[in-house]
Structure 1
Amino acid sequence: MIAISKTILLPFQIIRADTFWKRLTGLSGHKGPLINKGLHLIPCNSIHMFFIRHPIDVIFLNKSNRVIKTISYLRPWRVVPPVKNAHSTLELPLGTVKAEKIRVDDTIQMNYLN
């Protein structure tokens, strides 16, 4: 059976981190787990989980917001090396990839908070 790519509208708001300072701080000041919001790092093709206290789901996107790679349950103090062809990264609440059935080649649509 051939998987068909789809467009997915994330069911919560996304914070856009498209400046040096917003990308630098990322989620490091966030005390609890991500709930009903996410962070879109632009540009970004690799991440680290230093100083992050809770696991998250991560999606790497190309310039057209097409999914290049997904990571479910990325734990604190881990590093994801650069992902080829990734232009941006979505940091999402734990379980989002599974709940929304997000797969490589899907396209992501977002509602931005800021």
Structure 2
Amino acid sequence: RGLGEEEGLWLEPCAMIHMCFMRFAIDAVFLDRELRVLRVIENFRPWRFSPWVCGARGVLELSAGRAAGRLAPGDLLEFREKTAGGN
């Protein structure tokens, strides 16, 4: 099963990831303590290892292609809890 269009997985603490045993590609977005984007790895395929991202607090894993053209180093993100109404 892959990640849905509006789904993501937040891993913390995390400054590097591997794709061993994964069956699908993802976009990996490494963030610092202020949730500022440090690095984006697009279309990160199975059986690969990311570099160690210095200063990373965690990584946001998104479906492949989701970060393309939307996120870049220096961007500041905000996490919001999904409400019962879906907003």
| Match status 1:69 vs 2:35 | no
Corresponding position of 2:9 = 39
Deviations 1:34-82 (A, max 9, x none): 1121100011000000111000000000000000000100000101131
Q: Which runs of 5+ in 2 are unaligned?
A: 83-87
| Match status 1:85 vs 2:67 | no
Corresponding position of 2:80 = 111
Corresponding position of 2:64 = 94
Q: What's the CA shift for 1:98?
A: 1.5
Higher strand share: 1
Number of paired residues?
81
Aligned counterparts of 2:81 and 2:50: Cα–Cα separation in 1: 24
Other structure's SS at 2:27 match: strand
Q: Which runs of 5+ in 1 are unaligned?
A: 1-31
- Identity of matched residues, %: 37
Q: Aligned AA for 1:105? A: G
C-alpha RMSD of matched pairs (Å):
1.3
Aligned counterparts of 1:90 and 1:112: Cα–Cα separation in 2: 15
Aligned counterparts of 1:88 and 1:42: Cα–Cα separation in 2: 4
Other structure's SS at 2:42 match: strand
